[in-house]
Amino acid sequence: MIAIVDYDIGNIAAVFNMLMRLGLRSIVTAKIQDIERASKIILPGNGSFDACMKNLRASGLIPVLEEKVLAQKVPLLGICVGAQMLGTKSEEGEESGLGWLNLQVSRFPDINGLRIPHMGWTEVWAHNKNKKNPLLVDMVADARFYFVHSYYMTPNNPEEIMFSAKYGIEFAAGVSRDNIAGVQFHPEKSHRFGKKLLNSFARGL
């Protein structure tokens, strides 16, 4: 069962509905017992970094998530701000991140009048295909995903960059290490490309 972590940040139903269309069993939950039973975990994120981190801490779910993800090595996928929260900090606020990945989050620079936030469909390309990452198995050359964000992730270790995209600058659109992965885009809003990625996560990572 896939547990979609509900810590009162909204925009969770779309993830659940996409998994349901794929025939994958999932539950939206804020209960420790459900997360304890989960075989995969999705951490969504929507809004500001500080608000998400404060809500997650207030939920009391971080200890069980750390036990599942860090100790038991249960696969976790962070989405949008949920991916940024896997890192140590963000320029968007004062709260510290989960620190599960060694990455920072920065605001897009002002380049050639590009509008911020970066919003819409953008081509994404994969890295490290030789490492047999399950999330890269079904990626195609023209993969495009839906983005809505003003901040981007920068891993300290470039080998942890799973996907890249470009909006004024090249940035990490996806990161991964071992059982932990995060994507800056919204797979639940990305139609066939998002379906492929979520299906790969559910069946492989």
Q: Which residues are catalytic?
A: 80, 186, 188
Rounded Cα gap, residues 154 and 172, in angstroms = 6
Burial class of 22 by CB neighbour count within 10 A (0 to 12, 13 to 18, 19+)? middle
184 and 76 Cβ atoms separated by less than 8 Å: no
List Cα–Cα distances, 107 to 9, 10, 35, in angstroms: 21, 23, 32
